[in-house]
């Protein structure tokens, strides 16, 4: 039992660290925040398809990324909750490979526009549909365009990577 706990914590920590690094890369390119965002780290939201450790790794990684890149507290809390909900949803849909990226897309498309409006005062509440569209497009790029190829590559090695 002890080894399973160590494996779980190790996988979660590695995923959190990878999430932070990929967010920093996107941030350096100006893609990690704002009304139009494509976080490369969001491609990792397919990992709960393989292991529940990814749910917590993604959540902690998002908290750390948002904190270290200077996001406001409202964003740190609710952006991370969106990632947590997305990870839980992906894990719940793990039997349906092509649906695995949908929960993070939906969670972020619903939650992040409110963060942009209320935390960053990016526009009035009437801007919500536009922000939902731009965040949703970025999430589709991150989760489907980047995440699904990652899922297929990792799926070939899942028995060695995710015990």
Q: Which residues contact 133 (CB under 8 A, 6 or more apart)?
A: none
Average the pLDDT over 7-28 and give the result. 96
What does the alpha-carbon distance between residue 139 and residue 42 come to, in Å, rounded to a whole number?
A: 7
Phi, psi of 95 (to 5 degrees): -80, -10
**Burial class for 14, CB neighbours closer than 10 Å (0-12, 13-18, 19+):** middle
Domain 2-25+42-161 of CATH type 3.30.565:
no
Question: Does residue 66 have a pLDDT over 90?
Answer: yes
Q: To the nearest whole percent, how much of the chain has pLDDT over 70? A: 99
Residue extents of the structural domains in the chain: 2-25+42-161
Q: Give 1's pLDDT tier (boundaries 50, 70, 90).
A: low
What does the alpha-carbon distance between residue 121 and residue 50 come to, in Å, rounded to a whole number?
A: 37
pLDDT tens for 45-65 read 999 999 999 999 999 999 999
pTM over 0.75: yes
């Amino acid at each position: 039992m002890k080894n399973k706990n160590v494996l779980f914590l190790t996988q979660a920590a590695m995923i959190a660290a990878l999430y932070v690094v990929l967010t920093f890369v996107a941030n350096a390119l100006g893609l990690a925040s704002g009304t139009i965002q494509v976080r490369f780290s969001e491609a990792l939201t397919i990992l709960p398809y393989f292991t529940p450790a990814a749910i917590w790794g993604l959540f902690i990684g998002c908290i750390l990324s948002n904190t270290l890149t200077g996001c406001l507290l409202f964003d740190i809390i609710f952006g991370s909750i969106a990632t947590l909900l997305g990870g839980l949803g992906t894990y719940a849909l793990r039997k349906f490979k092509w649906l695995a990226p949908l929960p993070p897309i939906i969670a972020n498309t619903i939650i992040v526009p409110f963060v942009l409006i209320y935390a960053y005062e990016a526009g009035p509440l009437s801007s919500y549909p536009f922000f939902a569209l731009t965040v949703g497009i970025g999430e589709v790029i991150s989760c489907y365009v980047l995440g699904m190829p990652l899922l297929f590559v990792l799926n070939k090695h899942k028995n060695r990577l995710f015990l």
